[in-house]
């Protein structure tokens, strides 16, 4: 698994979610569907999740490895903070100077001035792992995992946002995504986050919309350019709204032309665009395998792979459905 880029800030939807909680105990956690192929490929080997037989094996809790990213390293080694808000202090460092006769060297302490340094001890937060369910069998199996950072954060404390930012990044580095839950969240609370939740983004606000979409995907130059290109392409087709969807590991982006015509793609995979014609919100809850196995291709939806000429095929599909509706 390619390690995701760290969050630059706490996504607004997570801040809003925290504000809506009734209790102050909050955890950074995530529920997602992991295909058997990803486990066999070793995408989660750093968490010791393996699939050698019919069922995955994994530890109930694990301190993430230091080499998974900046926050994983701080979690096990702590942090050195240079206190440049305090006066400079006199320090010494030792160097080896040559003896005056040239027969060897001897240590010499050289004075210098530097800001004080403060050592923040490691938190050594663990990630607890739980298998919540399974869809399908064999090579087509998909496993539903829950990951929870062990630290229960208190929303009423002054350092809450600082700790939340840290733990979201710790989870993102190791799992690939992050969410927030009340510390006493139920099984149902976790499971319902697997379903795709759609948000409408107004047309005519390109930069703001792209920034919002990038909050939930790795903000790399390649991803940014891909989103800009597809956003601009869809904008020329005249949608009512742009849409983004979040559900488990899935990150979707697209355009809504009417209740009977929505075009979107999964930003995690990005290998095809889906044009949905009926019950698009309901159908988006299905896995790709479930959707393709439904036998409704061409009637309820069209799948357009990102091969040569895909933009022309999307444009033709949108124009044809508009005339049909």
What are the tens digits of pLDDT across the range 88-116?
778 777 888 787 766 778 788 887 787 77
Beta bridge partners of 247: 250
> Both tokens of residue 98?
């040559």
Q: Is residue 134 part of a domain?
A: yes
Contacts of 100 (CB under 8 A, 6+ apart): none
Instruction: Specify if 95 maps to a domain.
Output: no
The predicted-structure confidence for 122-140, as pLDDT tens digits, reads as follows: 899 999 999 999 888 877 7
pLDDT at 249: 66
- Residue 93 CB-density burial (10 A; 0-12 exposed, 13-18 middle, 19+ buried): exposed
Quote the distance between the C-alpha of residue 319 and its chain's center.
34
Domain residues for the domain of 212 are 197-324
Place of tokens 């390293």: 73
Q: Are 208 and 301 part of one and the same domain?
A: yes
Q: Considering the entire predicted model, what is its pTM?
A: 0.70
Are 172 and 271 part of one and the same domain?
A: no
**Would you say residue 238 lies in a domain?**
yes
> Which ranges in the chain belong to alpha helices (H)?
12-20, 36-40, 70-77, 160-175, 187-191, 206-214, 221-236, 280-283, 288-293, 310-324
64 within domain boundaries: yes
Distances (CA, A) of 268 to 213, 226, 247: 12, 12, 12
180 belongs to a structural domain: yes
Which whole number is the average pLDDT over 200-220?
Answer: 82
pLDDT band at 54 (very low <50, low <70, confident <90, very high): confident
What does the pLDDT average to over 174-196? 89
- Asked if residue 133 and residue 52 are part of one domain, the reply reads yes
Separation CA 106–CA 228 (nearest Å): 61
End residue of a domain, out of 164, 194, 224: 194
pLDDT of residue 297: 61
Distance of alpha carbon 241 from alpha carbon 247, whole angstroms? 20
State the average pLDDT over residues 174-184.
93
**What is the arrangement of strands in the sheet containing 261-266, beginning at the earlier edge strand?**
197-201, 241-247, 250-258, 261-266, 272-276, 301-305
Q: What confidence category does residue 158 fall into, taking pLDDT thresholds of 50, 70 and 90?
A: very high
Contacts of 222 (CB under 8 A, 6+ apart): none
Q: Which of 194, 218, 237 is the last residue of a domain?
A: 194
Give the rounded distance of the alpha carbon of 57 from its chain centre. 23
Q: Do 216 and 154 have their domain in common?
A: no
pLDDT score for 153: 96
For 143-162, what is the mean pLDDT? Answer: 95
**62/78 Cα distance (integer angstroms):** 17
Q: Across residues 259-287, what is the average pLDDT?
A: 78
Give the rounded percent of residues in the chain with a pLDDT score beyond 70.
Answer: 91
For residues 36 and 143, is the Cβ–Cβ distance under 8 A? yes
Q: Are residues 245 and 164 in the same domain?
A: no
Whether residues 273 and 242 share a domain: the answer is yes
pLDDT at 276: 86
Are both 26 and 130 inside the same structural domain? yes
Q: Is residue 7 part of a domain?
A: no
In a domain, 293, yes or no: yes
> Is residue 305 a part of any domain in this protein?
yes
Identify whether residues 24 and 152 lie together within a single domain. yes
Q: Are 173 and 226 in the same domain?
A: no
Question: How many domains are contained in the chain?
Answer: 2
Q: Are residues 184 and 38 in the same domain?
A: yes
Q: Considering 174, 194, 214, which residue would you say is the last residue of a domain?
A: 194
Q: With pLDDT > 90 as the criterion, what percentage of the chain qualifies?
A: 39
- Co-location of 159 and 28 in the same domain: yes
Q: In this structure, are 186 and 173 located in the same domain?
A: yes
Instruction: For residue 168, give both structure tokens.
Output: 């979201």
């Amino acid at each position: 698994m390619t390690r995701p880029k760290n969050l630059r800030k706490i996504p607004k939807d997570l801040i809003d979610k925290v504000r809506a909680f009734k209790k102050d105990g909050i955890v950074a956690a995530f529920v997602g569907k992991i295909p058997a192929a990803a486990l066999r490929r070793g995408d989660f080997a750093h968490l010791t999740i393996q699939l050698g037989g019919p069922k995955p094996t994994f530890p109930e809790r694990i301190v993430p490895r230091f080499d998974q990213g900046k926050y994983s390293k701080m979690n096990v080694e702590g942090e050195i903070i240079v206190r440049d808000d305090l006066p400079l202090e006199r320090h010494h460092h030792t160097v080896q100077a040559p003896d005056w006769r040239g027969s060897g060297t001897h240590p010499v302490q050289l004075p210098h001035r530097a800001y004080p340094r403060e050592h923040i001890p490691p938190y050594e937060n663990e990630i607890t792992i739980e298998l919540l369910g399974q869809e399908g069998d064999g090579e087509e199996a998909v496993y539903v995992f829950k990951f929870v950072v062990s630290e229960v954060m208190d929303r009423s404390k002054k350092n809450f946002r600082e700790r939340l930012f840290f733990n979201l990044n710790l989870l993102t580095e190791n799992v690939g995504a992050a969410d927030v839950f009340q510390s006493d969240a139920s099984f149902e609370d976790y499971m319902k986050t697997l379903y795709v939740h759609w948000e409408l983004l107004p047309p005519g606000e390109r930069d703001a919309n792209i920034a919002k979409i990038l909050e939930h995907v790795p903000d790399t130059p390649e991803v940014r350019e891909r989103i800009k290109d597809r956003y601009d392409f869809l904008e020329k087709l005249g949608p009512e709204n742009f849409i983004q969807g979040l559900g488990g590991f899935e990150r979707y982006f697209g355009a809504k032309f009417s209740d009977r015509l929505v075009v979107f793609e999964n930003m995690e995979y990005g290998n095809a665009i889906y044009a949905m014609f009926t019950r698009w919100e309901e159908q988006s809850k299905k896995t790709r395998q479930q959707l393709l196995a439904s036998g409704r291709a061409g009637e309820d939806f069209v799948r357009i792979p990102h091969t040569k000429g895909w933009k022309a095929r999307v444009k033709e599909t949108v124009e044809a459905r508009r005339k049909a509706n």
